[in-house]
Amino acid sequence: MAQTVLVVGGAGAQGIPIVQALSSDPKYAVRVLTRNPDSETAKELLALPNVSIATGDASNEADLRKAFQGVDLAFVNTNSFALGIRAEIYWGMRIFDIAVQSGVKHYIWSALEDALTLSGYDEACRVGHYEGKSRVTEWMKSKPQTPMKWSVLTTGPYIEMLHELLRPTKLDDGTWVFQFPLKDGAVPFVHLDDVGRAVKWILDTPEESAGLNVKISIEHASGEQVASAFTAVTGQPARYESVPATQWLKDSPPGPPSYKMGSQYEGNTPDDPTLLTVEQNFSNWWNLYQRSAGNTGLLKTDYAFLDRVIPGRVKSVREWMEKVQYTGERRFVIKSYSGN
């Protein structure tokens, strides 16, 4: 009989390829937790084999208990931007408890790196969504592998953001310019399809994956590498320009710079002192990547391990651009931008 996998966040950008990867294997029946079962995304997921929808909110105890009924395996991606740091830590721990109580056998927490610790507690690298998720990882490490096995999947910036938040601008002379506050650092981009394959490997291989923190990325890509991959794939001129974070936040912000991330969550107050503004959060986010060049800085990936467990993974920005026929034009990926 198929094992039921609950995917919390399954109708989001990260969750969709996970649902797709698991639904391709009849040994899994996939249940997607979403607040909106009538969305286009939910309908598309329902059209896949062995997929069902559980309606509910990942920060509602009763909804979670209902969604977890009869579940064997789980993948959990909470929404940092909606919750804020404190509520993400609470719900990250609470969902784990509920999974244990529901009889889940193997649980995957979708995490981000512990940027603050890696930087030697430098406030300049304090990134809210990394803090919430990594504190939950650290707490999980104190838990035994019984009665529930657990694994962590640590991701990072989706390369698909080159379609939207990180897309280049085209100058009148036809040159494409990638403007990031990256200096000579590097971004270990993550390809969403490979996230799906990594989750499938973790669930397929519990004897190896239980207790592991699987850190996934394509390659550590500098700004120059992104621009030269673009030219190689499209034949069009491109260059990288490092810009101050203040300029990036003005030209292409992920939200209003003074907006406190998580302030709309009902458990937080609008002026909640535990929340970071978009400006604080994303300036520090770039600081982290400025210090991560060449897989020798703050953030490191074991690429040999990834090559073994995800054979056929996308290994370079150039390979990804070829795969998706990248043009630099806008395409919607992140749900909060597209409204789907």
Chain residues in the site for ligand NAP (CB under 6 A): 9, 11-15, 34-36, 58, 77-82, 112, 129, 155-158, 161, 334-336
Question: For residues 50 and 110, which CB has a smaller minimum distance to ligand NAP in the complex?
Answer: 110
- Identify which of residues 225 and 231 has a Cβ nearer to ligand NAP in the complex: 225
Q: Are 176 and 169 in contact (CB under 8 A)?
A: yes
- Report in angstroms how near the CB of residue 203 gets to ligand NAP at its nearest: 19
CA triplet 258, 119, 257: central angle to 5 degrees?
10
Return d(Cα 36, Cα 53) in angstroms, integer: 9
Closest contact distance (angstroms) between CB of 318 and ligand NAP is 19
Nearest to 167 by CA among 175, 157, 177: 177
* Least distance from ligand NAP to the Cβ atom of residue 105, Å: 23
Question: In whole angstroms, what separates CA 315 from the centre of its chain?
Answer: 18
Judged by CB, which is closer to ligand NAP: 20, or 155? 155
| Nearest residue (beta carbon) to ligand NAP | 12
Residue 63 or 105: the one with the smaller Cβ distance to ligand NAP is: 63
Task: Give the nearest distance from C-beta 171 to ligand NAP in angstroms.
Answer: 26
Concatenated DSSP letters for 108-151?
EEEE---HHHHTTS-GGG--HHHHHHHHHHHHHTTS-SSSSEEE
To ligand NAP, the closest distance from the beta carbon of 335 in angstroms equals 3
Bridging pattern class, strands 220-221 and 187-188: antiparallel
> Which residue, 14 or 20, has its beta carbon nearer to ligand NAP?
14
